[in-house]
Amino acid sequence: MNDSFKYQTAADPPELARYLAVLAEGVKAGTLTVAEGHMSFTILPRGLIDLGLKVRRKQGRTRVSLELSWAEGEPESDPGPPAEEP
């Protein structure tokens, strides 16, 4: 499946922090839906998630790029040891 969704906006730091917090909660919960207008995109982060972070300065501007990736169909994170049987 080659679906894609792109979102770009300008925001002040508190608004940006709220947006990033929503993304973080979606990753933590294992489901995240992003939407703008009539377009929406749902992702299901599971298993081991690769994180890429790139920071650069060029001509008076700073850019931070964040990339998350995972294999679709990966099992959820390890739930821990099995419960003891009576």
In tens, the pLDDT along 2-22 reads 588 888 899 999 999 999 999
The domain of 59 spans 13-69
pLDDT of residue 83: 57
Tens-place pLDDT, residues 22-65: 999 999 999 999 888 888 889 999 999 999 999 999 999 999 99
Confidence of residue 1 (pLDDT cuts 50, 70, 90): very low
Domain assignment present for residue 4? The answer is no
User: Do the domain assignments include residue 34?
Assistant: yes
> Is a pLDDT exceeding 70 seen at residue 75?
no
Answer yes or no: is 27 within a domain. Answer: yes
Asked whether residue 20 is domain-assigned, the answer is yes
Flag whether 38 is in a domain: yes
**Inside any domain, residue 23:** yes
Total tally of structural domains belonging to the chain: 1
What's the alpha-carbon Rg for the chain, to the nearest Å? 17
Identify whether 59 is part of a domain.
yes
Q: 9 and 18 in contact (C-beta within 8 Å)? A: no
- Per-residue b or e along 11-30, where b marks 16 or more CB atoms closer than 10 Å to that residue's CB: eeeeeeeeeeeeeeebeeee
- 47 CB burial (10 A radius; 0-12, 13-18, 19+): middle
